[in-house]
Structure 1
Amino acid sequence: MAKEKEEAVFKGTRDGLLIILDDRREFRSVLDKLKAKLEAARGFFQGAQVIVDVGGRRLSGKQKKALEKLINSQAGLKLKGFSSGERTAADQVSGEEEGRVDVTTAAEQPQEPAPAPEAPLSPWPHSKLSSLPTLFLTRNLRCGQRVNFAGHVLVLGDVNPGSEIVAEGNVTVLGTLRGLVHAGAAGDQEAFVAAYRLEPSQLRIGGVFTRAPDEDGLRTGREPEVARVRDGNVVIEKSAVNPALSLVHRAE
């Protein structure tokens, strides 16, 4: 003997949730069963748009309002409308187990192709992106002052003798660097130290350090310079920055 059809059956569609109501049962019985099923599945259909298929039943205005109130009272559900008329064989659901919910998951539904991501901006040649933060100092560092930062350090000013900068990333000084500086303090030997005038008392990159040059070896040029590690030694190179375009302009 075949089981009777359920008063209310849930079906997942690409348009949302379809609720199929038995049009041969008394409306109050169908409404009570629908309420019990919605309560049991609370939260399962979060955010779903609902269409109610009433079959061949002609709903009165009062019955429509009762269904709308019931569905919209459930958290996350919104009644989209009603449908009626002849059902297909697939919609003539019968003999389903009590409480069964036939839902197509989001993973099973056809997905719109995701838009192609925009191409990222290309970095400048010979450069690389860094995830380290940057500390901006808009003042001079005086004797006795010390900066220790887990990232890059940029100083808009001078680093005077007796001051110290220790950074896990790069150190850039838009001024004169005469204090002690340690870039790549966490062991990064690809870090660099750059300054408008590079005259440190001691300079260290990663685990490689060098002391200040003798007086005769002091550089007198006015071009920005960059200190890097090459073949296990700290070397100082002229910066590719054109001094005429430098952000630092000193009044004589």
Structure 2
Amino acid sequence: MKKTQNVLIKGTKDGLTLHLDDQCSYTELKRELNDKLSESSRLNEESPLITVKVKIGNRYLTDEQKEELHEFVRQKKNLVIDSIESNVLTKSEAERMKAEKEIVSVAKIVRSGQVLEVPGDLLLIGDVNPGGTVVAGGNIFVMGSLKGIAHAGAGGNTNAIISASEMMPTQLRISHHINRSPDIKEDVEKKDMECAYIDQNDQIVIDRLQVLIHLRPNLTTLEGGS
């Protein structure tokens, strides 16, 4: 009877991918992993540093076990773990993902020196005065004047948008992209609600809110007009 392999090693253009069985015991997994990585290390002693992606399927690993895997691989001369991917979410990760998808509604004026920050989308019914800052992990909707700083997609979401009834910001940020008011105020009509987004040239631009129907059709679960 053929022995089941608990560790599969596949080479890619970016390094190595380790597929670890999620049914065997963790001890058994470490034993086989050690044998295969030791063999791989002996065959590649003169090779440059190789990055390793670890896929653990439906197995849950504690932080201590993840660190143990990192150290385990680091001992194999030219190997280093780039990421550990699991299909299992912890409770805190699930709660964070849920929070990032929620819309937080706030009715207030964000005054100079104040910072309003939410993990998901922000719906602000009020103004952001000069010197005030609003930050969201998702999108920012200001039902009022935006005259301060707005940072959408703070966690790295480049598809996030910023919209305001009156768009007069001192600075806009979407993910790691930054643009200031003097650079984005040209040819902007003031009669419509406006939005800022990252275009195909990787630049923050401002346009009428209506363009989002076509640019970001999955922006929210709310129904929109044509």
TM-score norm. by structure 1 comes to 0.41
- Structure number with greater Rg is 1
Query: Which protein is richer in helix relative to its size?
Result: 2
**TM, length-normalised to structure 2:** 0.46
Q: Which has the higher strand share?
A: 2
